[in-house]
Amino acid sequence: MEISKVSKSLGGKRVLKGITLRAETKRLILLGHNGSGKTTLLAIILGLLKPDSGSVRLNGINPLERRDKILKLVSFAFEKPKFDVNFRVRDVYEFLKNYAESDCLELFWNEIELSKIKDSKILELSSGQTQLLHLMQAICRRSEIKVLDEPFSHLDYVRAGIIGDYLVKKGFQVIMTTHVPEEADWLADYVVILKDGELVWSGQFERLSEDGYYEVMVRGLYVPPGALAKVGNVYIVKSTQEDLEKLMQEGKILGYKRAGVRRHYEVY
């Protein structure tokens, strides 16, 4: 994927500010808080939205010029799905049999248990059930790239885990947005972090653990040395493993791990 100097304004607000990126990877995660511009960038990558300036190529294809090729290449699911027709769940399942991978349909129908709501109409479904139905059509459809916008936002952790593990096991090419650093830690080969419409960090996942930053869990009001940011009772800390082990032995901290994505996500 190649993105060159992409900018976009919506409603008088600059949502994307000169984004430039080149990445060849299996699973690319766009990570950012709400309002960071990640869903807008996703829409531009798909050719659903035209940038004010700049250009995009997805697997060498300009999505604005070759919409037909993009539709064959990609299947996608946005966080707030819309279905134009009020089908029953089983109707969607039966329709997909002609266009989807059978093992994927089996996973959603039985393990994810969409079969239990097979007689329900789409407009009767909860937000989580609607999202699952939309994910089934996006992930199971035969396509080269799966584009998923906040795919786990309305799901319980069990179903999210099943779907995420399936994406990794099958080796799909995935472009996904999330605001949850742990999802990027779990699934990403390549991470792109957006903040207020700007790209603040991008790179291979392995680079995230090279620089000595840790997530440190504390009790009460204790602030560990080297603290840079706080998320609940977890601090982002620049430290050494030896110093953190000493703090654990002294009972000052409850535990620690390498900061990974959260180091860049929370400190910037």
How wide is the angle at C-alpha 46 spanned by C-alphas 172 and 83, nearest 5°? Answer: 85
Look up the pTM and report it.
0.85
Q: Is 163 exposed, middle or buried (0-12, 13-18, 19+ CB in 10 A)?
A: buried
Residue 11 pLDDT > 80, yes or no?
yes
Query: Sorting pLDDT into bands at 50, 70 and 90, what band is 208?
Result: low
Q: Which uninterrupted H or E stretch holds 265?
A: helix 261-267
| Each residue's pLDDT tens digit, 88-101 | 999 999 999 999 99
| Each residue's pLDDT tens digit, 108-149 | 999 999 999 999 999 999 999 999 999 999 999 999 999 999
Q: For the chain, report the end-to-end CA distance as a whole number of angstroms.
A: 25
Query: What is the per-residue pLDDT for 181?
Result: 84
Residue 210 pLDDT > 80, yes or no?
no
Mean pLDDT of 164-187: 93
Maximum Cα–Cα distance for the chain, whole Å? 63
Mean pLDDT of 31-56: 94
Helix, strand or coil, per DSSP, at residue 60: coil
| Each residue's pLDDT tens digit, 216-249 | 999 889 999 988 878 788 888 889 999 999 999 9
